[in-house]
Structure 1
Amino acid sequence: MKKKMVLLSGNEAVAWGARMAGVCFASAYPGTPSTEILETMASFDELEAQWAVNEKVAYEAAFGACIGGRRALTACKHVGLNVAMDPLLTTAYSGVNAGFVAVVADDPGIHSSQNEQDTRRIAPFAKVPLIEPSSPSEAYRFIAEAYKISEEFDIPVLFRISTRISHTKESFEIEGGREVLVRPLTKAPKKYVMVPGHAGPRHLDLEKRLVRLQEYSEKTVLNQIELKGTEIGIIASGVSVLYAREACPEASVFSLGLSYPLPLERIRAFAKKVRRLYVIEELEPFLEEQLRFAGIDVIGKKPSWRCGELGVAAVKRIMAAEEREE
């Protein structure tokens, strides 16, 4: 396939990656920092892109396309996912036909929102996998992997970006082709109609899928280790990976592209290779809490750093055990 160099924001990269992955239908409700995802997708002649009256309708319209055998995407900002929580939790039970990805743009620092809730908390609650790119180029590449995971494990995938990724631009190469995989529409009421008699068996099936996803997390290319020194190790996800690398260039870094479920065995092995292991993450101590629960000794951040965005200077202060200033 012919490649070309492009300069894309994170939102544009998600749209281009979805196009390349063969997405045929997308629906969203506008809201910064996610709006440009659907705006960009609407410029592609090869797919159908529609605004919806709210995030629940957008989710269900896109999921209808997924059941119909076409890869589909829905997008919203973090608070918008609250509106779509009902279908999110139920479709985790039912599973998918063609791949389905829900892209959610968080807003650390509250640039254009009423709060800075952390969408990562929703993944274990909804029992769905969570993917977090750290840059626009990763957003472009990871969205294709999200569809493969969705179809392999019969599950919706949460794809979490944040304001800095959404609006930062990066120059990178993209493929010139597009492959559309069409799955036949099949009548399967026991899979898709979540009345009580069907929901119970689907819940059990979901738990089995999560076990397989846990095993997959240990080998996926979405999780990458960059070994350098043995004094300091850092575990991070999303844009915090870039901050951590710049703040502490001598550290070994475990970049989590698939941040739920966690690759605990790989992390345990990584922890043995360094003397001190830090967790760098914006907002909630989502990774830190899971690692501590698993018995992995990590150094986290003080509660004051649960507010607002991070940056290179902030990461240095976190690693120095300093408090956030008012």
Structure 2
Amino acid sequence: MKEILLGNEAVARGAFEAGVKVVSSYPGTPSTEITEAMAGYTGVKTEWASNEKVGLEVAVGASVAGVRAMSCMKHVGLNVAADPLFTASYTGVRGGLVIVVADDPGMHSSQNEQDSRHYARAAKLPMFEPADSAECRDMTRAAFELSEQYDTPVMVRLTTRISHSRAQVELRPPLPQASFPYEKDMRKYVMMPAMAVDRHRLVEDRQHQLAAEPGDLAMHQVSRRSGSLGVVCAGIASQYVQEALPDASLFKLGLVWPLPIGQIRSFAAGVDRLIVIEELDPFIETELRAAGIACEGKALLTPLGEYTPDMIRQAVLGQGQTAPALAAGEIPAVPGRPPVMCAGCPHRGLFMALNRLKAIV
């Protein structure tokens, strides 16, 4: 059976199909609908936590207890969850553990547009980046498998356009809810300095193994077309590239960290010009340059906001000139809508009471 799903709904579907047992999250646009959709599935303990740190800690606890678990948040919420995030990288998992983070290029509903890929690199955690709703489902399922295979939490990075766009998804029957008996293992789960030293060695070994992951779990896609132009990209940028540059050879990343440097090097050797197209920071570009792979990137396209196919087409084919932002006159006039707190937000009642008291906040 097929269904039209939001990217966020597809993540929830993928987790359900993977046999997730516990989901603990904190709401924040553009990630909120994942946990709302999870609440509709039977057999899954779904809850809103008091903040992102607590949500992740609940999911870590469920994983250690032996069931598959997931925690979802927006990009700025990952700052709140950073403490358990980094330590969970060292402890590893028992049941699969997936952390879904939704970035907001263009700041549609956020106070910054930080790039969560830096957290994957800093915490030494694998990260998927889906390009449509079908991949949201597929990569979430794969993330649980990768988590248990490599004894690591796995991150899935969405962006607003992926979270809030709809596409057709083929629904599959759920797997039996996986569970493993709890095993007391202080050297694995108690990160006192003497134990953490040994776990760090395992984390570094895991990084090398993941970078060389040749199988289907990495979900990379390579399309060789033009020998003159090759593009490395991931997520929503890959959709724009295929529309703007249909003749270009394409290395579409599934696992965006750690990067498959060897595979990209082979791809680069087959094209005259290599361009990295990614919204926000030059994350992939910087890593490729550090590995000695010549490429272009932010010299052509801005690190600010979202891209469009027209921007990419003009930047790449227009003799390297950076595409200008859309002129204000091209945007149709719409009624003003001042920012408000989302319906159902627990802060609305508090701020209404403060407003009635004419309290200065």
Please state if 1:249 is matched with 2:254. Answer: no
**Count of paired positions:** 323
Structure of larger gyration radius: 2
Query: What is the aligned counterpart of 1:113 among 100, 110, 114?
Result: 110
Separation in 1 of the partners of 2:126 and 2:148? 12
Asked if residue 186 in structure 1 is aligned to residue 180 in structure 2, the reply is: no
Alignment RMSD: 1.4
- The offset of 1:265, in angstroms, is 1.2
The alignment status of 1:47 with 2:44, answered yes or no, reads yes
Name the aligned partner's letter for residue 285 of structure 1.
P
Q: What is the Cα deviation at residue 171 of structure 1?
A: 1.2
In 1, the alpha carbon distance for the partners of 2:7 and 2:186 equals: 38
Question: How far off is 1:302 after superposition?
Answer: 2.7
Tell me if 1:211 matches 2:208: yes
Q: Is the 8 A contact 2:19 2:177 kept in 1?
A: yes
Identity of aligned residues (%): 45
1:322 aligns with 321
Q: Report the residue type matching 2:52 in the other structure.
A: E
Letter in 2 for 1:323: T
Paired residue for 1:64?
61
Residue 170 of structure 1 corresponds to 167
Q: Which deviates the most, 296-305 or 39-48?
A: 296-305
Correspondence for 2:273: 276
Q: For residue 157 of structure 2, what is the aligned residue in structure 1?
A: 160
Q: Distance in 2 between matches of 1:150 and 1:43?
A: 25
Provide the residue aligned with 1:227 in structure 2: 224
Aligned mates of 1:187, 1:55 — CA distance in 2: 26
Q: 1:237 to 1:138 in 2, by over 3 A?
A: same
**CA 1:302/1:134 → structure 2, altered by over 3 Å: closer, same or farther?**
same
The correspondence for 1:196, drawn from 193, 196, 209, is 193
- Equivalent pair of 1:217/1:261 in contact (CA under 8 Å): no
CA contact (8 A) 1:218 1:266 kept: no
Q: Unaligned 5+ residue runs, structure 2?
A: 326-361
Secondary structure (helix, strand or coil) at the match of 2:171 reads strand
> Is 1:264 the counterpart of 2:261 in the alignment?
yes
Secondary structure at 1:6 match in 2: strand
Q: CA deviation at 1:301?
A: 2.1
Return closer, same or farther for 1:88/1:303 CA change in 2, 3 Å cut-off: farther
State how far apart, in whole Å, the 2-side matches of 1:187 and 1:221 are.
31
Question: What residue number does 1:98 align with?
Answer: 95
Kept in 2: contact 1:25–1:70 (CA 8 A): yes
- Give the aligned partner of residue 344 of structure 2: none
Q: 1:218 & 1:48 partners in 2: Cα distance?
A: 32
Structure 2 length as normaliser, TM-score? 0.87
Q: Report the more deviating stretch, 311-320 or 60-69.
A: 311-320
Contact 1:55 1:84 in 2 (8 A): yes
CA distance in 2, matches of 1:324, 1:86: 39
Shift of 1:322: 2.3
Match of residue 283, structure 2, among 277, 282, 286: 286
Which of 52, 65, 72 matches 1:75? 72
How much has 1:204 moved relative to structure 2? 1.2
More contact order relative to length (CA 8 Å, sep ≥ 6): 1
Instruction: State the Cα distance separating 1:80 from its structure 2 match.
Output: 0.2
Q: Deviations over 1:134-154 (max 9, x none)?
A: 111001011111111111111
Aligned with residue 36 of structure 1, among 30, 33, 51: 33
Give the CA deviation at 1:218.
Answer: 7.4
Quote the residue 2:20 is aligned against: 23
Q: Distance in 1 between matches of 2:89 and 2:102?
A: 20
Shift of 1:189: 1.1
CA deviation vs aligned residue, 1:238-290 (integer Å, no higher than 9, x gap): 11000001000011111001011111111111111111111100000000000
- Tell me the distance in 2 between the aligned counterparts of 1:115 and 1:262: 26
TM-score normalised to the size of structure 1? Answer: 0.96
> Measured at CA, do residues 92 and 265 of structure 1 come closer, stay the same or move farther in structure 2, by a change above 3 Å?
same
Contact 1:223 1:256 in 2 (8 A): yes
Q: Is the 8 A contact 1:26 1:74 kept in 2?
A: yes
In the other structure, the counterpart of 2:309 is 312
